[in-house]
Amino acid sequence: MAISIAKIKFILLKSGFSEMADKSKHKEFIHTRTSESVYLNKAEPKVYSHLIVHPRHLSERTQLINSGVGIGSSNDFLFGAGYRAFPERIRNGTKPCKYGVPFGFDSIVSLNAFLGHIFP
């Protein structure tokens, strides 16, 4: 069972992130040291899509999922016009849309392992 959005928010704030934009579908957090944005996905109820990170971390996706610490991912990408800090990609058709890589976590331990890997 994945940890809740409220727990993820608590850990992000405790781990050096600041709350930024709060939209109906997501909340943006910025890492204070690296200035990198992540998005807390409030609209997508899938178990492994609560935290959306920059697509530059896609290459680490398989390693993180196979690490055995309870990190999962529902899809390769999650698209949303509100992911303003992320690049665009053509999804279905001709108009590009912002996108990121979704992750979810079985425990606070797995979330902390993920954050330690992505934001060392």
Judge contact between 112 and 12, C-beta under 8 A.
no
As a whole number of angstroms, the distance between CA 92 and CA 95 comes to: 8
* Strand 88-90 relative to strand 78-79, pairing: unpaired
As a whole number of angstroms, the distance between CA 52 and CA 24 comes to: 15
> Which DSSP state fits 9?
H
Residues pairing with 41 in the sheet? 26
Mean pLDDT of 7-35: 94
**How do the domains of the chain map onto residue ranges?**
5-118
Higher pLDDT, 2 or 113: 113
As a whole number of angstroms, the distance between CA 11 and CA 111 comes to: 8
The answer to whether residue 44 scores a pLDDT higher than 80 is no
As a whole number of angstroms, the distance between CA 88 and CA 65 comes to: 24
Higher pLDDT, 120 or 46: 120
Query: What confidence tier does 45 reach under pLDDT thresholds 50, 70, 90?
Result: low
Average pLDDT, the chain: 89
Is 5-118 a CATH 3.90.1150.40 domain? yes
Q: pTM value?
A: 0.90
Kindly report, residue by residue over 53-83, the tens digit of the pLDDT.
999 998 888 888 888 888 888 878 889 888 9
Judge contact between 99 and 80, C-beta under 8 A.
yes
